[in-house]
Amino acid sequence: MKKNYPLIVITVLFILTPLLLFGLTIEEEKKYGTQIFNEIARSTNINNDPYISFHIRKIKEKLESVANMPFDIVITIIESSAMDAFATIGGYVYITTGLIAQCEKEEELAGVIAHEFAHIYRRHIAKRYEKEKYINIGMLSSIILAMLAPDQKTKEAILTTGIASAQSLSLKYSREDEDEADSFGSKFAESAGYGGFGIAEFLKRLRLSGADKILPQYLLTHPYHDERIMKLEGIWKERKPIPDSPLFPFILVRAKISNIMHGTPSDEIWINRYKKNKSDPVAAYGAYLIYLRKGNIDEALEAAQSIRLPEVRDLLYGEALTLTGKFKDAIETLKKIRQDSNCYYISKIFLAKSYEAQGELKKALEEWSELIKFGNSYPEILYRFAMLSGRMGMEARGFEYLGRYYLAIGRIDQAKTNLEKAVSRYGINSKEAKELLLLLDTIKKK
């Protein structure tokens, strides 16, 4: 059935009509921000990579620990080669895999995210709505149309033209807004341990490489001025070296490969890079991912096994064993990872999958249970926990977490249906049912 895109957009705009008339309270920002999120989340390709999701969550938590934000921040990673990052009302930040792939250092990615935090912290977007008395209808329409377009070429075309042009028309921040976001964002990043130079380095490198002309969305949303970089460099007189976390180079590889189509020349570039230097762990990991995508299992395992970095070796090889069906060996490898390791929680995902594939359902459920607290950052956890709970006869819990999964990915009708089934299975007077009824009431108010 062909989708009626104008009707979809009209429906979205009807939902957001109150924004045309009134200034926004904090609660209104949350409400409308959630509605925008739900439309975007259910309509576009959300990245479902555990490495990227967990690492972005880690950056978010560090920044939240030093910034007294007016909202709980929700970061959504959009699967797109377009290079973009933007914040909307209510504490929602969107970042594309294309932008992540363009970062060379962790401090650059943290700097970009901190910059978006600062726009939210200073309520720049909400203030523009309040001042101009309207929401940027063009921007929202372009976003929604891009997310619902029937083919990838159409998506990319609308994302490249629609979002960039709409945002540059009336969401383009003022110089004062940008100066504030640069200043506050760099201070947030510095306080969180990432240094204050990240956003300046990112913008400077893009300008020098010419990438700002190829992928202009980010710079259109955030006007580029050499003066901005000079001001940022003036804030921090002394630059301290900020080392990347051990996993970060591999996260960049995953972001880059997620943006290339299967069978393109880029596949051979990664494989040839690995063959020229098999001791390069980043090249080996890239080749492993390409071989895996091609279905070349033996070559994939060989490349993964060649990664010898002690901080990440067991995770990367354990992942490879899981994804190539060597579940028993995967379990033995992944169990070596200590709880104080940066790789610990990601390893639990592959450990749970291996236990489940081996038929050790109780152990698998224990692993998914430990990961539940990360469900909103990586919703597959909620889905896996729900399905396994149902499979093991815990029907009420299965419906509850299936509802929470749908809520996390913006599918509100399915969320309500499953949460209502969970209430029925738990029993209306149970503690669990009462908590879910409160959650359902909150959903209905949104």
Element of type H or E holding 7? helix 5-15
Q: Report whether pLDDT(57) > 60.
A: yes
CB-facing half-sphere around the CA of 140: CA atoms within 13 A? 25
Residue keyed to tokens 């959650």 = 439
Pick the range with the lowest mean pLDDT from 65-69, 86-90, 437-441. Answer: 86-90
Number of Cβ within 10 Å of residue 392's Cβ equals 14
Select the more confidently predicted residue: 140 or 75.
75
Whole-number mean pLDDT of the chain?
Answer: 82
Query: What pLDDT score was predicted for residue 215?
Result: 42
What average pLDDT score do residues 69-84 get?
Answer: 88
- Residue-wise pLDDT tens digits, 409-430: 999 999 999 999 999 999 999 9
Select the more confidently predicted residue: 64 or 311.
64
Pick the range with the lowest mean pLDDT from 20-24, 69-73, 96-100, 328-332. Answer: 20-24
Pick the range with the lowest mean pLDDT from 228-242, 261-275, 401-415. Answer: 228-242
- Start-end of H helices in 306-360: 313-323, 327-334, 344-357
How far is residue 224 from each of residues 96, 116, 206, 217, measured CA to CA in Å? Answer: 19, 15, 11, 11
Query: What pLDDT score was predicted for residue 164?
Result: 44
Strand order in 85-88's β-sheet? 74-78, 92-96, 85-88
| Highest mean pLDDT out of 173-177, 294-298, 421-425 | 421-425
Query: What pLDDT score was predicted for residue 263?
Result: 61
d(CA 401, CA 403): 5
Q: Taking CA 199 as the corner, what is the angle to CA 61 and CA 242, rounded to the nearest 5 degrees?
A: 65
Domain ranges of the chain: 5-235, 379-446
Query: What pLDDT score was predicted for residue 346?
Result: 97
Query: What pLDDT score was predicted for residue 224?
Result: 56
Query: What pLDDT score was predicted for residue 175?
Result: 74
Q: Report whether pLDDT(217) > 50.
A: no
- Start-end of H helices in 44-194: 50-66, 97-102, 106-121, 124-132, 137-148, 152-158, 164-166, 175-191
Element of type H or E holding 30? helix 26-43
d(CA 157, CA 146): 8
- The pairing of beta strand 92-96 with beta strand 85-88: antiparallel
Query: What pLDDT score was predicted for residue 209?
Result: 60
What average pLDDT score do residues 262-288 get?
Answer: 90
76 forms beta bridges with: 94
Contact call for residues 403 and 373 (beta carbons, < 8 A)? no
Secondary structure letter of residue 385 according to DSSP:
H
d(CA 289, CA 258): 10
What average pLDDT score do residues 244-267 get?
Answer: 86
Percentage, residues of the chain above pLDDT 70: 79
How far is residue 445 from each of residues 27, 32, 314, 369, 419, measured CA to CA in Å? Answer: 11, 11, 46, 29, 16
